Amino acid sequence: MNTTPSTSTSTSTSTSTFNGVPIQVPLEIITEEEMAFLEAALSSALPLFPPRCSSPSSLFRVAAIASLPSSPKSQSQPLRSPDIEDSTPPAPVGSLLHRFRSRRALAVTDITGSEWCEKQVEFGLLHGRPKRTAAMEAGSIRHAELEEEVVEKVEIQIKSIEESWALKFMNFMVGANQLLFEGLTRELPVIGVVEDTWMIGVIDELQMPVGESSLNPCLVDTKTRYRATIPSEAQKRNARLQLMCYKYLWDNLVVNDFPTGHFFDHFALNPQYVLSEDIRQYSSSLGFEAKTFEEVVSYFRNTCSMLPPSDEQLLLRYELQSDHSILEEYKFSFDANWFKNEIQKRLEFWRGEREAEYVSDAERWKCRFCKFSASCPVTLASSNKAE
């Protein structure tokens, strides 16, 4: 298994067979930025997938951690007229969405971060993210360990934003293949429009049910705990919102047509961008020929159309960092009304429709763990009262 530095572009290969012929399958691409956000992107594809293999090694797939040159040179972008039905209003000038996410999607962890404390998110964007804690690093290491159980990484160089997205879409397609034929996939990138806003996420884990009549995959999220304690309701609520975001993005991809024109326009991408020879070779090893970025997106759309919606029951798992023992594991149902209300409330903040809110009095304990507490008006006010 190859070890790749975080600053390089990486991918990995898995040898499988199709009609007795060995093929190299490149499988997943997750950018360093998306991995940081995690703890804090896709003709009929089914005939292209290799049959189920009984060997444990069949769970391994190719992964690429994509990094662009500091000043990537993209091929000229042709002028396009956006489809009216796909258009969404631009983020208001001056809003956090416009200032920090104008040409990239809002991450699911942007949503969960603002649910935890909007003022903390605002401080982080305006003054820089605080240094990651040991607990956060341990959580990221555990996610990497879980990923390595099904992903083997090798390096691949990308030359443009279009190629970065192309790899994300290929990543999704191979992850979907793995889910259908192996019953399990991890670190799966998803993208979609939620309440008129583009959003991306990386699903921890998807499982196909075993021995059940249902064919709807179950979404799983694993959280690590430093101490052997049960998480608070505030922590569970935040995790439930995260899993519901992933379910919404997955279901939207597989039920509705991916808004290709709007995607190209919003991210200023050139659909006719000619992919590098390396990327074309990877697509060929997957079983399809793609010369342009638009062709990759077309295969991605076809793959999505073949997949089932996810199960209404979502699984949240908490484990102890020291030995990975399970502290708590429970299922909960997707709540469409609660999810919609939460998303709308968080987007009001990101769109600058209201000021950032502080945590409630009942959850003021969060401030003890906030790196910005010394500068926060709430903390300063509490200190003044105590004096």
Structural domains of the chain, with CATH: 13-70+83-380 (3.90.320.10)
Chain position carrying tokens 């444990």? 56
Give first-to-last CA distance, the chain, whole Å: 58
Which of the two residues, 162 and 10, has the higher pLDDT score? 162
Cα–Cα distance between 88 and 242 in angstroms, integer? 23
Reported confidence tier of residue 210, pLDDT bands at 50, 70, 90: confident
- Mean pLDDT over each residue of the chain, to the nearest integer: 78
Question: Is the predicted pLDDT of residue 255 greater than 70, yes or no?
Answer: yes
pLDDT, one tens digit per residue, over 105-150 is 999 999 999 999 999 999 999 987 666 666 556 656 765 666 667 6
pLDDT, one tens digit per residue, over 301-354 is 999 999 999 999 999 999 999 898 999 999 999 999 999 999 999 999 999 999
How long, in residues, is the chain?
Answer: 387
The predicted model gives 273-287 an average pLDDT of 92
Please tell me the predicted confidence (pLDDT) of residue 103: 78
Residue (of 28, 18, 13, 274) closest to 173 by Cα position: 28
Strand order from edge to edge, sheet including 151-153 = 28-29, 61-64, 151-153
Please tell me the predicted confidence (pLDDT) of residue 78: 38
Chain position carrying tokens 């934003």? 161
Q: What is the 3-state secondary structure (H, E, C) of 249-290?
A: HHHHHHHCCCCHHHHHHHCCCCCCCECCHHHHHHHHHHCCCC
Reported confidence tier of residue 19, pLDDT bands at 50, 70, 90: very low
Taking only Cα atoms into account, the Rg of the chain, rounded to an integer number of angstroms, comes to 21
Residue (of 169, 147, 148, 149) closest to 158 by Cα position: 169
